[in-house]
Amino acid sequence: MSKVITDAARALIGVELDPVKAEIDKTWVRRYALAVKSPQPPNPLYTDESYAAGTTWGGVIAPPTLCTGFPWLGPLLDKINPSMGKYRVGLNGGNEYELYEPVRIGDVLTGVPKLAGLDEKPRDDGGVMLVINLEAQFTNQRGEKVLTARQTLLRIYGPENFTQE
């Protein structure tokens, strides 16, 4: 018997949600490239137009992990959360990315997110660990498949005050 997974949440598994858009602009790419390399200088492939023009890519591309900031989790969680009780802490369990084409400045990516699975495991302290598996397929404005993103979120419930709603 599930302590935290409701029938309403389970019914969302596999349902594709409305598409989300990620518009890739120069500032986003630059700030991200700086943040992941700071205090060292960023990789010029991600920030320096003239340098990047001389590479095999012919111009600036986004760092491979820029996709961790694509805005697909929020709408998905907004859909799931009302079906779940209040958790004590939420954690990132893991990520999986398959990258097919480079993402470039000016690209408009469309992602189709879905809840891929739900599981719950008892914790030694009497609480519950909820495992949420999420997935999204992204294409660019030319219809090219760019990325498959998978995310595992962990939520710790209890051991006291389970508030299944």
Residues engaged in binding other proteins (CB under 8 A): 28, 31-32, 34-38, 43-45, 51, 55-57, 63-65, 68-69, 71, 88-89, 91-100, 102, 152
CB closer to other proteins out of 8 and 95 = 95
Q: Distance between CA 98 and CA 21 in Å, rounded?
A: 18
CB closer to other proteins out of 17 and 70 = 70
Cβ contacts of 102 within 8 Å, gap of 6 or more:
57, 61, 62
Q: How many residues are present in the chain? A: 165
| Burial (CB count within 10 angstroms: exposed 0-12, middle 13-18, buried 19+), residue 148 | middle
Q: What sign does the dihedral 77-75-115-95 (CA atoms) show?
A: negative
| Burial (CB count within 10 angstroms: exposed 0-12, middle 13-18, buried 19+), residue 79 | middle
CB closer to other proteins out of 12 and 99 = 99
